[in-house]
Amino acid sequence: MTTILPTGQVEFRFFRPNASEVCVVGSFNHWRVGLTPMQGDGKGWWQAILELPFGAYEFRYVADAQWYTDFAANGIEHGKFGWNSVLLVGPPRAVAA
């Protein structure tokens, strides 16, 4: 799952309790496995926080060399090697006073 934090950063969270190594890959890092590692919390959740410019991105998670699609993302698109998750990063929303 992804969340746009109040800081504008993007939080990626992925649950894979038995994984020993997890990373997030996508159009924002040229699909390079290992370039954006995620940190495990010891309870099965993995997390990475990134600063990404406004735009649309495709991404997937890689856990112990297995690729996973995040179906809870902003959508999915069929890519060359399977289904990619879609992430939309926009400007912060104005908060009503």
Number of residues assigned to the chain: 97
Tokens of 63: 């856990």
In the predicted structure, residue 43 carries a pLDDT above the cut 90: yes
Over residues 73-94, mean pLDDT? 86
**70 contact partners, CB below 8 Å, separation of at least 6:** 1, 2, 14, 59, 60, 61, 85
pLDDT at 92: 62
CATH architecture for segment(s) 2-89: Sandwich (2.60)
Is the predicted pLDDT of residue 97 greater than 60, yes or no? no
Domain boundaries, the chain: 2-89
Q: Count other Cβ atoms within 10 Å, centred on residue 5.
A: 10
- Average pLDDT over the chain, rounded to an integer: 92
pLDDT value of residue 68: 97
pLDDT at 93 over 70: no
**Average pLDDT for residues 71-95, to the nearest whole number?**
85
Longest distance between any two alpha carbons in the chain, whole Å: 47
Q: Cα–Cα distances in Å, from 10 out to 29, 31, 47, 55, 75?
A: 14, 17, 10, 12, 16
Instruction: Tell me: pLDDT of 16 over 70.
Output: yes
